[in-house]
Amino acid sequence: MLISFVMKEWLKVKWVFIGLAIVHGIILLTIYYDLANIFKAYKATEVIMQLLTFEIVYYINVKYAALLSGVMIGIFQFFPEVNQSRLKLSFHLPVKEHVLIFQMAATGIALLVALNVFDTIVISMVTLKYLPYEFFESLIVTVMPWYLGGICAYCWVVIVFTEPNWMKRVVLLCIGAGIVSLFFVGDGYGKYALSLRNFATLMVLSGSIIFLSAYNFKRGIW
C-alpha cells in the first residue's frame, strides 16, 4: 500500500515537480552564466574581493526557488485532495490517518529534498569551478535555512489545507507565513550558522502540526 500511495502522490504532482525542476534548472543556469560572465568582464581578484567585502551571495535566487517549490508542491498535492474531498475518502481506508498523512507529506518533502540536493550539487560545482574552497564551505550553512524554510512552507500549506475550519485556516495561514518568513531573513554568508539547529527544530515542530490538522480533518471539528 505504501508504494501505491507514493505512486499516487507522484502522479498527482509529477508535472508540477517537472515544472519546478525546469524553473530550478533555469535559475541555476542563470547563476552559472552570471558568475561566468562576471569573470569575463572584470578582474578575478576584484570579483572575489567584491564577493568577500559585500558578502554578495551569488546564488541568492535559490532562496526564492526553495520557497516557491515548497508552496507549489504543497498546493498541488493537497488542494485537489481537499477540494474534491479525496482526502476524506482516503481517511476511510483501513490505514490510520496519521500514517496516511505522514506518507503523503513524506512524499512531498522527499521531492523538495530532491530539488534541494539538485540545487546544492549544481551550485557546488559552479562554486568550485570559479571560486576558492571557502565559498563552497559556507554554501551549506548559507542555503540550509532556505531549504528548511521551503520544507516548512510546504508543511504550513499542508496544515492550512487539511484544517477543516475556515476561520482557523486563516489564522494558521498568518502564523505559517510569519514562521516561514523567519527562515529567509538576513543577507550574507552563514548568517544562520549559530541557529541552524533551532530552525531545524522549528521546522520539525511545524511538520508535527500536520498530524493535528489531519486528526481535526478526520474528526471534522468545525
Partner 1 sequence: MVTTMPVLRIALMMIIVLFVSIFGPDFYWKANKHENNKTNVNFSPIKKGFLFTHSDVRGSSYSDAQGKFYTRDEFEALMPFLNFRQLMLAGKLPQSIDEIPITPKEINLNNFTQRIAPALIQAKPLQLFPLMESASDRLRLELPPDFFRIGRRMEFITALTNEVNEEKSVVFTKALVAEGFTFPAKSIYGNPSTKKPFDEGYFVVDGKDRVFHIKMVKGAPYCKDTGISPDLHIVSIIPMEIELREFYAVFITQNNEVYFISTDHYQLIRLPVENYNHEENTLTIKGDLFYRLITINAENGYHATVTDRKYAVIDRTSAAWPGRETTISGAAASYLFPFTVSIEKETTPYIQFYFKHSGVASVPLLLASLLFSIYYMRKKNVPVRPAMMYCTAVVLTGLYGIIALLAIKDYDDDPAQKK
Residues of this chain that interact with partner 1 (CB under 8 A) are: 43-49, 52-53, 55, 96-98, 128-135, 137-138, 145, 165, 168, 171, 175, 178-179, 182, 185-186, 188-195, 198, 202, 205-206, 208-209, 211-212, 215-216, 221
Q: Given the complex with partner 1, which of 4 and 45 has the nearer CB atom?
A: 45
Q: Which residues contact 20 (CB under 8 A, 6 or more apart)?
A: 65, 68, 69, 72, 73, 115
In angstroms, give the least distance from the CB of 209 to partner 1: 5
Q: How far is the CB of 199 from partner 1 (least distance, A)?
A: 8
CA dihedral 63, 70, 11, 21 (to 10 degrees): -10
Q: Which helix (H) or strand (E) segment is 72 a member of?
A: helix 61-83
Minimum distance from CB of 145 to partner 1 (Å)?
8
Closest by Cα among 66, 64, 46 to 56: 46
Give the residue with the Cβ less far from partner 1, 8 or 98: 98
Q: Shortest approach of partner 1 to residue 160 CB, angstroms?
A: 13
| Cα(52)–Cα(100) distance, integer angstroms | 47
Q: How far apart are CA 45 and CA 214, in angstroms?
A: 55
Quick one: which of 56, 82, 51 has its CA closest to 169?
A: 82
- Rank residues 140 and 171 by Cβ distance to partner 1 and give the closer one: 171
Closer by beta carbon to partner 1, 11 or else 133: 133
Nearest to partner 1 of 27, 159 (CB atom): 159
CB distance 101 to 210 below 8 Å: yes
CB of 104 to partner 1, least distance (A): 16
